[in-house]
Structure formats: C-alpha cells, structure tokens
Chain A
Amino acid sequence: KQEVTQIPAALSVPEGENLVLNCSFTDSAIYNLQWFRQDPGKGLTSLLLIQSSQREQTSGRLNASLDKSSGRSTLYIAASQPGDSATYLCAVRTKTSYDKVIFGPGTSLSVIP
C-alpha cells in the first residue's frame, strides 16, 4: 500500500529565504508525482507535475525533483515571498491500487515579511 509522507509538517521562514519541502513515498511504482498548493479554505492549485521518467521540473521560482528509486521528491522555492504562504501537498499516482492518486499530509508554510 502506497504511503506518502511530508517533512516538515510546518515551516516558518523570513521573506527572501530559499527553502526545501520534502516528500517521501513507499512504493516506487508510480506514474507521476505532483505538487499542489492549497490556501486556507480553498481548493488545490497544481504547481508542478513530474512524470516517472523525469528527474525534475521547473516553473518560475519553483523547482521539483524526483528520485523514484529512493522514493523521494523535493520542492525547492527560491527567494520566498509572503504570498507563498500556504499548505503544500505532494501526491503520487501509483501504478498499483487501481492507479489512484495518494496525497501526503502537507507542509504548512508561513513566510514572514
């Protein structure tokens, strides 16, 4: 059974810092991994999607890496801004279990001005 964990659970940083969010998954048989952002009381916004054959994806100040063999992904946020404050969720689409998408518990990020 696929399990997804995220470290840290919460993070508070001063504006301008670079930061790394971590995601781990137990079953490496995945199709893809996706990072989302969720603002309080809102739905999900897709940030980056990495296919299993890829090692990283970049969008603006965001960079996500994938090491499928070790079951890890990182989301790197450069030059953090207060507007980056949100909960960040990673989700893997697993080849087993009827190709379900399994979400991690999320990392709550607070960027202090």
Chain B
Amino acid sequence: GAVVSQHPSRVICKSGTSVKIECRSLDFQATTMFWYRQFPKQSLMLMATSNEGSKATYEQGVEKDKFLINHASLTLSTLTVTSAHPEDSSFYICSAELAGGHRYQETQYFGPGTRLLVL
C-alpha cells in the first residue's frame, strides 16, 4: 500500500524556537496533503490543506503565520511551527492523497505522526 513518512518522529525544543516537520509520500505522488493536530485523548483536528504549488488553506482558528506550510513537490509537504510555545505541544499527523483518479473516492494515507514537546 501507499506509504507516508514523517520526520522527525519526536522533537523536543525550547520555547521560542521554530520546528520543521516533513511529510513525504514515498511511493506515490500526492497532489494534496493534509495536516492534523491531536491533543492527548482527543481526536484529530484538521489544521490545513496543502496543495502542491499553491498556498495552503487553513482551518478557522489556525494561525497561518504561526504554522507555515510549504508543499514544494508532489511528494513533500513541510509544516513549520514558528516561535513554538508549550501550548503548541501536540501530536502532528499528515496525510496524503493519490494524485489523479477520482479524488473523492480516494482514501487518505496517514503518516506515523510527529510528537512535539515545547519546554
């Protein structure tokens, strides 16, 4: 099946620093990638939709200047948490859709997640 990787899997940083998380589709091209955030014992909340070659679409309440998303190629999207604070500590998960085909029939393939801890 389609594989999505995330790097790093875990990161600890000091408050005020920026952290970049990579999401890669390893064996397929992804026109669209999604970024989710999951707080402990809660479900996934969509943060933004990332389309290759265009600006990301952010969900209401998500600061686009704080969570910078770059989808530079059909296999890579990055999420940068700028000036991270302790309240940004969370589990960040990306997903990717296969390019082409019947988009709305496609499943999303999820990465393993990145656990961010801001001290």
Contacts and interface: CB of A to CB of B under 8 A. Distances in A.
A99 B32 CA distance: 12
Contact of B104 (A42, A46, A93, A103): A93
B83 interface: no
A98 B107 CA distance: 16
In which size bucket is the chain B interface? 20 to 34
Nearest to A4: B43
A41 B115 contact: yes
B67 interface: no
Contacts of A41: 91, 115
A81 interface: no
Interface residues on A, range: 20 to 34
A89 B44 contact: yes
A105 B43 contact: yes
Contacts of B110: 36, 43-46
Contact of B49 (A34, A98, A106): A98
B42 A99 contact: no
Interface of A: 31-32, 34, 36, 41-46, 49, 51, 89, 91, 93, 98-106
Given A49-B107, A98-B49, 9 more contacts: A36-B110, A41-B115, A42-B112, A43-B110, A46-B108, A99-B104, A100-B46, A103-B45, A105-B42
